[in-house]
Amino acid sequence: MDEDATAPAPDDRYARGLEILRVVGGQHDPAVVDALADLAPDLARYTVEFAYGDVYARPGLTWRERQLVTVAALTALGTAPTQLHFHIRGALEVGTTPREITETIAHISVYAGFPAALNGLSAARAVFSEEGAAVEVAADRGPDGDESRYERGLRLLSEIDGDAGHRVVESLRDVAPDLGRYLVEFAFGDIYAGTGLDLRMRELVTVAACTALGTATPQLRLHVGGCLNVGGTREDVVEVITQMAVYAGFPAALNALAAAREAFASH
Amino acid sequence: MDEDATAPAPDDRYARGLEILRVVGGQHDPAVVDALADLAPDLARYTVEFAYGDVYARPGLTWRERQLVTVAALTALGTAPTQLHFHIRGALEVGTTPREITETIAHISVYAGFPAALNGLSAARAVFSEEGAAVEVAADRGPDGDESRYERGLRLLSEIDGDAGHRVVESLRDVAPDLGRYLVEFAFGDIYAGTGLDLRMRELVTVAACTALGTATPQLRLHVGGCLNVGGTREDVVEVITQMAVYAGFPAALNALAAAREAFASH
Amino acid sequence: MDEDATAPAPDDRYARGLEILRVVGGQHDPAVVDALADLAPDLARYTVEFAYGDVYARPGLTWRERQLVTVAALTALGTAPTQLHFHIRGALEVGTTPREITETIAHISVYAGFPAALNGLSAARAVFSEEGAAVEVAADRGPDGDESRYERGLRLLSEIDGDAGHRVVESLRDVAPDLGRYLVEFAFGDIYAGTGLDLRMRELVTVAACTALGTATPQLRLHVGGCLNVGGTREDVVEVITQMAVYAGFPAALNALAAAREAFASH
């Protein structure tokens, strides 16, 4: 991170940003620059310089990862269909598979509800149809042997959140035991057990969605720890949160970073 | 709740969910299952099994109540117009009156602002027009005798929130006395005094909206207590919050439940 | 504020509200009253009486300021495109310049991210095109002499937030120094340095956006103080927050007021 700490000359930032934007945007979009030229040329320039030239150009995550966390955040927010469309296509442009995209969006059902995930999938359908991209749908998971959904969920919850996840389920026992059961069975036994994304990537998109929502601080803290438990690094977490400054604003990123710092300290 | 604590066999969950989905969706929609078959068949199955087979099938609330709290939450969120449309129609399908729907949506003006409520009413207009449903508009309330809006609001605030509501108004006196006055006059004197929904139902949709928003924790705590004051039960509150896991995600439901537990303890 | 504390007679509230609504709405819109007459006539009446007759009619802010803070809030929320369109046009109707509108929307990129700002600008483009309004685009800022973006950002951060802003940047140094650098360079060195809005107005729209979002409490507290540092008054802040009860609901306004009270106390 140190070599990044020296700000490059403005011209470099713009050129570097434009180059990235052209890859992510594919041949379909004129640069946002043109679209804003007559109305808000400064913001157009900042989009190129800051969003792409500064943040996207950072070395900490692959472009595939950057696109998936952006798709996760925009799916969770549900307020930017144009940008979600753009970034689903951008995900394809940088080599993400359609299946990774649909798994990421489906994963968000846990964090922002089914309507958010279903609307994200509608956007994906539209993009895939335009691009002729086909989803290789998961083969049926088949019989899970003797493991029930609850057992599978508990196993994954332990792997990801350690004791912390169990404490959440335990704490629900007096007032809402079924909500605890659904958390284990659906969130972990169904969604996290899906084969299309590995656990580290699931935790990165979880951190992105919780950062963007801004209303899931206890869960964000838990899953920052979870990310470290399944192979993610502190740098991964900081990169995802930093990128969210672009897509959800600085308060979202700053408040998430405060939560992440607490999780780092107690890990 | 105890008999529900034993997870039914997977097949039962799917069959039960599909049956409910067909009632709520009426004859208009092919099951969401078909729509997602090629893209995300797992999420389609979870929608049926978890959202309908697990949560919607729970005995704690009537289907009419389940539809109204969902309409309230989606109106407050403002991010899922397709699903709001579906669930307004679903409310009609399970026997809710158009008037109950419009009162629920108008109620949300207090909790998420006028734009959210006005957009919810636009969705209701579209559904009612498709379905040929007519709203029996409230007869003019007529003269309220000697009771001013402020007096009526204070009376309802006392009935619902006891001393807690008064303390909120009192606490505004030094910095923003007019905001306190508007809270009494508009929120309670106008909206809560409306005749189309009883107070228990107003508190259930309030709990749903505050849970889904995730930014109204002090108000959620207050209105969980309010719900108990006007005839609602702890089970009602827990059911509404549990259902929000489907529509706004698990963090929203878990954080709301933490607030509800505090309200239960101090009630 | 004292003379406002006596509620006017209901008839006055309606007539006064309707008069304002007709100015803000221009000749384009039939009153929202007509649109809701058959569906929710009470809410239509409350829109006129409460939103316009009570809140908008308050003397604390100019109509130009009221429109800009509403545009800021609706841009940040991203959930009410119809109302954003209406209020951008309303801003023109009451004499706001197109440039003030685009600067307000671009400013929101800091607080709610680029997608929110870009969608707000699309709405502005549509309105300007309908109204034949032309934006006088800022002349290129030209060379800033020896001052780098970082230096300019630090200077503005000091002017607005005093020590508090520096403490935020300082606190990021261990975990995410680049996020702190972007905050200084982009948020303050680029956006706040823009010439189209003065600093007081930038802080008013910041307070509006953070109030409406409901997820930016630490930032709201900081910028309430910031507003007072650059020429705003406590009454300005309370007026903006009170107006947000209309556009984002009472919980948003009440929680923001609690944060503002803390900022007032420590200022």
A121 close to B (CB below 8 A): yes
Q: How many structural domains are present in chain A? A: 2
Token pair, residue C186, equals 């982009």
Closest to B242 (Cα-Cα) out of B73, B26, B37? B73
What's the confidence (pLDDT) of residue C3? 40
What's the confidence (pLDDT) of residue A138? 65
pLDDT band at residue A24 under the 50/70/90 scheme: very high
Task: State the average pLDDT for chain C.
Answer: 91
How large is the average pLDDT for residues A212-216?
98
B251 close to C (CB below 8 A): no
A5, with CB counted inside 10 A (0-12, 13-18, 19+), is exposed
Match 């691009």 to its residue by tokens: A131
Q: Let me know if residue B81 belongs to a domain.
A: no
Question: Smallest CA–CA separation between B229 and chain A, in Å?
Answer: 19
Domain that holds residue A174: 149-187
Closest to A71 (Cα-Cα) out of A85, A57, A53, A58? A85
C200 and C230 Cβ atoms separated by less than 8 Å: yes
Q: Let me know if residue A156 belongs to a domain.
A: yes
What's the confidence (pLDDT) of residue C32? 73
Convert the pLDDT of each residue in C44-102 to its tens digit: 999 999 999 999 999 999 999 999 999 999 999 999 999 999 999 999 999 999 999 99
DSSP-based three-state secondary structure for C94: coil
Cβ-Cβ contacts under 8 Å, B17 against chain A:
none
3-class secondary structure per residue, A56-124: HCCCCCCHHHHHHHHHHHHHHHCCCHHHHHHHHHHHHHCCCCHHHHHHHHHHHHHHHCHHHHHHHHHHH
Q: Chain C, 166-225: which have a CB under 8 Å from a chain B CB?
A: 213-215
The chain B residue lying nearest C246, using CA atoms, is: B113
Q: Let me know if residue A30 belongs to a domain.
A: yes
Q: Let me know if residue B65 belongs to a domain.
A: no
What's the confidence (pLDDT) of residue C4? 44
What's the confidence (pLDDT) of residue C267? 87
C255 pLDDT exceeds 50? Answer: yes
Convert the pLDDT of each residue in C100-138 to its tens digit: 999 999 999 999 999 999 999 999 999 999 999 988 776
Closest to A58 (Cα-Cα) out of A210, A245, A205? A245
Q: Let me know if residue C164 belongs to a domain.
A: yes
Q: Let me know if residue C123 belongs to a domain.
A: no
The domain boundary residue, chosen from A157, A187, A217? A187
Other chains touching A, judged by 3 or more CB pairs under 8 Å: B, C
Cβ-Cβ contacts under 8 Å, A242 against chain C:
176, 178-179, 182
Q: Please tell me the distance from the alpha carbon of residue B73 to that of residue C152, in angstroms, as a whole number.
A: 44
Q: Let me know if residue C33 belongs to a domain.
A: yes
Other chains touching B, judged by 3 or more CB pairs under 8 Å: A, C
B93: left (phi over 0), alpha (psi -120 to 50) or beta: alpha
Instruction: Choose the mutation target among A39, A74, A246 for the interface with C, i.e. most C CBs under 10 Å.
Output: A39
Percent of chain A whose predicted confidence (pLDDT) is above 70: 91
- B78 to C80: CB separation less than 8 angstroms, yes or no: yes
Q: Chain B, 6-35: which have a CB under 8 Å from a chain A CB?
A: 7, 10, 32
B41 and A137 Cβ atoms separated by less than 8 Å: yes
Helix-helix angle A98-112:B250-266, to 10 degrees = 10
Cite the DSSP H helix spans in C113-233. 114-131, 149-161, 163-171, 177-182, 199-213, 217-229
What's the confidence (pLDDT) of residue A253? 98
pLDDT band at residue A267 under the 50/70/90 scheme: confident
How large is the average pLDDT for residues C207-231?
97
A162 pLDDT exceeds 60? Answer: yes
pLDDT band at residue A265 under the 50/70/90 scheme: very high
A174 pLDDT exceeds 80? Answer: yes
What's the confidence (pLDDT) of residue C11? 67
Q: Let me know if residue C18 belongs to a domain.
A: yes
Match 């609504």 to its residue by tokens: C21
What's the confidence (pLDDT) of residue C243? 98
What's the confidence (pLDDT) of residue A238? 98
Spans in chain B with pLDDT lower than 70? 1-11, 27-31, 138-144
Q: Which has the higher per-residue pLDDT, C228 or C31?
A: C228
ipTM of the complex in this document: 0.93
What's the confidence (pLDDT) of residue B134? 86
Match 């505050």 to its residue by tokens: B210
Question: Smallest CA–CA separation between A247 and chain C, in Å?
Answer: 5
Token pair, residue A22, equals 């052209």
Q: Please tell me the distance from the alpha carbon of residue B218 to that of residue B113, in angstroms, as a whole number.
A: 17
The domain boundary residue, chosen from B57, B75, B96? B57
The beta-carbon neighbor of A113 closest among B39, B246, B254 is B246
Cβ-Cβ contacts under 8 Å, B214 against chain A:
213, 215-216
Q: Please tell me the distance from the alpha carbon of residue C52 to that of residue C44, in angstroms, as a whole number.
A: 11
User: Can you spell out the DSSP letters for chain B?
Assistant: -TGGGSPPPHHHHHHHHHHHHHHHHTTT---HHHHHTTT-HHHHHHIIIIIIIIIIT-TTS-HHHHHHHHHHHHHHH-S-HHHHHHHHHHHHHTT--HHHHHHHHHHHHHHH-HHHHHHHHHHHHHHHHHHT----PPPP----TT--HHHHHHHHHHHHHTHHHHHHHHHTTTT-HHHHHHIIIIIIIIIIT-SSS-HHHHHHHHHHHHHHHSS-HHHHHHHHHHHHHTT--HHHHHHHHHHHHHHH-HHHHHHHHHHHHHHHHH-
What's the confidence (pLDDT) of residue A30? 56
